[in-house]
Amino acid sequence: MANPKPEELARIEYKPPKTGWMDTPAEIRKGMFCHAGKSKSLEYVGLPNPRQWTVMEEDWKLPENWQEIFIEGLRERVNKFRSFRLFLDICVRCGACADKCHFYIGGGDPKNMPVLRAELLRSVYRKYCTTSGKIMGKIAGARELTVDVLKEIWYYAYQCTECRRCSLFCPYGIDTAEITILARELLNLLGLNIDWIAGPVANCYRTGNHLGLQPHTIKDTFDMFADDLETFTGIRVNPTFNRKGAEILVVVPSGDFFADPGTYTTMGELLLFHELGLDYTWSTYASEGGDFGFFTSNEMAKRLHSKIYAEAKRLKVKWILGGECGHMWRVWHQYHNTWFGPMDFLEEPVSPITGTKFENAKSNKTVHICEFTSDLIKNGKLNLDKSRNDDLVVTFHDSCNTSRGMGFLEEPRYIINNVCNKFYEMPPNTIREQTFCCGSGSGLNASENMEIRLRGGLPRANAVKHVVQKYGVNMLSCICAIDRAALTASVDYWVPGTRVTGVHEMVGNALVMKGEKKRTTNLRGDPLPGMEGE
């Protein structure tokens, strides 16, 4: 389906319809949703109620007792997650969150206001789990769980990227991500997953990464990286895989093995590790940092992430180094330690190059590569030639998860400022903790839902446009694999001509290595500034 022109898409009507939201059934529209999850994907990992079903068909082939399953699941979860129960109970509908959501800003659908997105489920909770809702019904904001209501919950649970921007502004910290995460769990009880999540989940489970790359393919991919790097630098990197006894296990999002521009980030990392002579290994078994289970259910998230834990144990490494990825870091930072801790078979992470102890990761033993690299730069361990990135006018997109789930703001900026000369920030209300989602996070990076992705991408892209016009920015840097894929599509549409890069790609470009040949191109094979004629 062709997308409308940007001018047309940006004509947004924010006025809500005349009829109340409970009386306005959701209109399920093409371009706004992802295809249904395939039954073989669900079967492979044993998710309940696998079947072939189609979103646009009237009959979703729900199990007979679907209502009971959903409500039982809801009751179970309000007794397991205080966050969930509290957030269903205490919203005062002040509306502060309304215009904080990128989907609402870019689409104007009132049910994409975080408060209303939550009310969709809250109304069902009131009906079946509270006395006033049971007795007073609609006047208490309660409603029956009908098939239409279920479809509505599904439709909007997959129009939320769990970015937590609304949670920042909520006076009670109500986090729509929690609501969406648990709504998706409930939908998964009924087999209502989407293909772009269910497929990657099954792939991660089987092959260790969401792309389904098998071990030899990963090895081949890295050989290609090594070939390219040898051409550019004259140096042959020799990464190892599944090597026991290495000091560090490196895990990055597998998107960075496969698709440009993520691949350049991996290449930058390979150069860095080689230059340092780091004793590290990749794993083909734990070859995915991004946890697609997190978009399915807490249990599925734990099932997938346990590979990293198990692999670190099997390979007897000392600690784990994680690549540039958004939600992978949300999971690693806020969930991993609780699922698998205490990590007593690992050692408290210490940089073998600088001797710096990573105090903030002493229990979980997992270090972010930007922490690792910024420490190297601070200690003067890297020889960096910023001018090699002089063709780039750079801005930085904070990922939702690293900014609002970690507070990881300065580390990447410190690196960027040390590897390039021209760095400009986007407007303050669109960066750091107030950053906007790329528009395609939490498993919504499919092609069939392009309209909603572009709409959700508008706030970010518009801020990029601002710095493009003001400072001539031509490179949008980020530390997330989904960003690298999603922002590429979004800026192509809204701000054509802007490109996307990972931070470690720029590190790889600037890194002056021992014994390297005179570099004439960057890691993309494009001529370096001043080398255009050579």
d(CA 141, CA 137): 7
Calculated CA dihedral for residues 76, 78, 80, 81, nearest 10 degrees: 150
Q: Which stretch binds another protein (CB under 8 A): 253-261, 457-465, 506-514, 525-533?
A: 457-465
Q: Which of residues 417-456 bind another protein (CB under 8 A)?
A: 427, 429-430, 432-434
Q: Which stretch binds another protein (CB under 8 A): 50-58, 191-199, 297-305, 506-514?
A: 297-305
d(CA 19, CA 17): 6
Size of interface with another protein, in residues (CB under 8 A): 118
- Asked whether 226 and 72 are in contact (CB, 8 A), the reply is no
Residue 42 engages another protein in binding (rule: CB under 8 A): no
Residue 25 engages another protein in binding (rule: CB under 8 A): no
Of 51, 61, 85, 381, which one interacts with another protein (CB under 8 A)? 85
Of 303, 327, 388, 484, which one interacts with another protein (CB under 8 A)? 303
Residue 206 engages another protein in binding (rule: CB under 8 A): yes
Of 25, 48, 277, 341, which one interacts with another protein (CB under 8 A)? 341
Cα dist from 309 to 283, 306, 313, whole Å: 12, 5, 6
With 0-12 / 13-18 / 19 or more C-beta atoms within 10 angstroms meaning exposed / middle / buried, residue 470 is: exposed
How far apart are the two ends of the chain, measured CA to CA in Å?
43
Q: In this structure, which amino acid lies at residue 9?
A: L
CB of 256 to another protein, least distance (A): 19
Residue 182 engages another protein in binding (rule: CB under 8 A): no
Residue 284 engages another protein in binding (rule: CB under 8 A): yes
Q: Which of residues 219-238 bind another protein (CB under 8 A)?
A: 219-220
CB of 326 to another protein, least distance (A): 13
Nearer to another protein, 274 or 455 (CB): 455
Taking residues 138 to 177 in sequence order and writing x for each that binds another protein by CB under 8 A, - otherwise, the string is -xxx----------------------x--xxxxxxxxx--
Residue 81 engages another protein in binding (rule: CB under 8 A): yes
CB of 437 to another protein, least distance (A): 14
For residue 475, list its beta bridge partners: 394, 499
Of 3, 52, 54, 132, which one interacts with another protein (CB under 8 A)? 132
Nearer to another protein, 154 or 332 (CB): 332
Nearer to another protein, 361 or 392 (CB): 361
Residue 185 engages another protein in binding (rule: CB under 8 A): no
Residue 48 engages another protein in binding (rule: CB under 8 A): no
Kindly report the backbone phi and psi dihedral angles of residue 477, in degrees, each rounded to the nearest multiple of 5, phi listed first.
-95, 155
Nearer to another protein, 88 or 420 (CB): 88
CB of 20 to another protein, least distance (A): 7
Of 327, 388, 404, 453, which one interacts with another protein (CB under 8 A)? 404
Residue 525 engages another protein in binding (rule: CB under 8 A): no
Residue 310 engages another protein in binding (rule: CB under 8 A): yes
- Asked whether 337 and 406 are in contact (CB, 8 A), the reply is no
Widest Cα–Cα separation across the chain: 80
Cα dist from 328 to 105, 283, 406, whole Å: 26, 16, 11
CB of 424 to another protein, least distance (A): 18
CB of 407 to another protein, least distance (A): 3
Nearer to another protein, 242 or 477 (CB): 242
- Asked whether 261 and 484 are in contact (CB, 8 A), the reply is yes
CB of 286 to another protein, least distance (A): 9
- Asked whether 180 and 162 are in contact (CB, 8 A), the reply is yes
Nearer to another protein, 204 or 272 (CB): 204
Cα dist from 453 to 222, 342, 412, whole Å: 31, 39, 26
CB of 189 to another protein, least distance (A): 16
Question: Tokens standing for 340?
Answer: 């698998």
Nearer to another protein, 63 or 173 (CB): 173
Q: Where are the alpha helices (DSSP H) in 316-390?
A: 327-331, 337-340, 369-378
Residue 178 engages another protein in binding (rule: CB under 8 A): yes
- Asked whether 397 and 498 are in contact (CB, 8 A), the reply is no
Of 238, 338, 496, 514, which one interacts with another protein (CB under 8 A)? 338
Measuring CA to CA, which residue among 317, 361, 369 is closest to residue 480?
369
d(CA 211, CA 45): 16
Verify cis geometry, omega within 30 degrees of 0, for the bond prior to 171.
no
Across the beta sheet with 394-397, the strand order is: 394-397, 475-478, 499-502
Strands (DSSP E) found in 308-377: 319-322, 366-368
Measuring CA to CA, which residue among 95, 72, 291 is closest to residue 197?
291
Of 112, 188, 296, 403, which one interacts with another protein (CB under 8 A)? 403
